Amino acid sequence: MFTITEFPLPYATDALGPYISQETLQTHHGKHVATYIDNLNKLIDGTNYQEVSLVEIIKESANRPEDKKIFNNAAQIYNHDFFFHGMCPNCEAQIPQEIIDTFGSEEEFKKKFKESATTLFGSGYTWLVRDGDELRIINTANADTPIAHNMKPILTADVWEHAYYLDYKNRRADFIDNFLNNLVNWNFVAENLKK
C-alpha cells in the first residue's frame, strides 16, 4: 500500500515563498495528494494492482474503462510528485541547451509553455515531454499523464486551480510566469532529458 511518506515534498512547505505559499503547499500536498493516496489504496485493495508499482498501475489501468478511478488516482499521485520535484527554492541552474536548441531560445520556450498552460481549458497539466526523438509541449486534461501515452515527462506545471488559487486567485498566467522564471528545477529537467 502507498503512503504519503513515499511521495515527500523535496523541500519544506515554506521553501517556495513568495511564489507559492506554505498554505498552498500544505493544502496541495498534505490534503489533495494524501486523498489520492487514500483513495488508491482503497481501490486496489485485494486486486493485482496491489502488488505492482505506481507507474505499472497507471500503464495497466490507462485503457481499461472499468479501472478509470484507479487510473485517475494513481496518475494524480504520479503527476503531483513529478510537479513538486520539478521545482526548487533558490534555483540557480540554467535551462538545458537542448530546450533552447529545440525552441529557438529560452524566451521562446517559456512563451510557448505559458501559452499552452494559460489556454488549457479546465483542469490538467502542461508538460514538456520527449515523444520519440522530439521535444514537445503538450497539455493533458484532468489526471491524464504522458506515461499513459508512451511519452517521457521532462517538466510539468499543475494548472488545476488548487495548485495556485490560494495565492493567485484567477491569475493563472502570473502563476505560470513565476513557475517558469523562479521555481523550475532545471537540474531535474536536465536529468529527465537524458535519453
Tens digit of each residue's pLDDT (9 = 90 or more) over 59-86: 999 999 999 999 999 999 999 999 999 9
- Cβ distance 123 to 160 under 8 Å? yes
Q: What residue spans define the domains of the chain?
A: 21-195
Tally of helices (H runs) and strands (E runs) in the chain: 9, 3
Provide CB contacts within 8 A for 140, sequence distance 6+.
Answer: 124, 125, 127, 146
**9: β partners:** none
Match domain 21-195 to its CATH number in 3.40.50.1820, 3.55.40.20, 2.40.30.260, 1.10.3720.10. Answer: 3.55.40.20
pLDDT recorded at residue 92: 85
Over the stretch 160-169, which tens digit does the pLDDT of each residue have? 999 999 999 9
> 137 pLDDT band (50/70/90 cuts)?
very high
Over the stretch 10-67, which tens digit does the pLDDT of each residue have? 999 999 999 999 999 999 999 999 999 999 999 999 999 999 999 999 999 999 999 9
Burial category of 18 from C-beta neighbours within 10 Å (exposed 0-12, middle 13-18, buried 19 and up): exposed
Residue 60 parent element (H or E): helix 54-61
Over the stretch 71-124, which tens digit does the pLDDT of each residue have? 999 999 999 999 999 999 998 899 999 999 999 999 999 999 999 999 999 999
Residue 172 dihedral angles phi and psi, to the nearest 5°: -60, -40
pLDDT recorded at residue 91: 86
What predicted TM-score, i.e. pTM, was given to this entire model? 0.97
Output the nine-digit C-alpha cell for 109: 520556450
| DSSP symbol at 5 | G
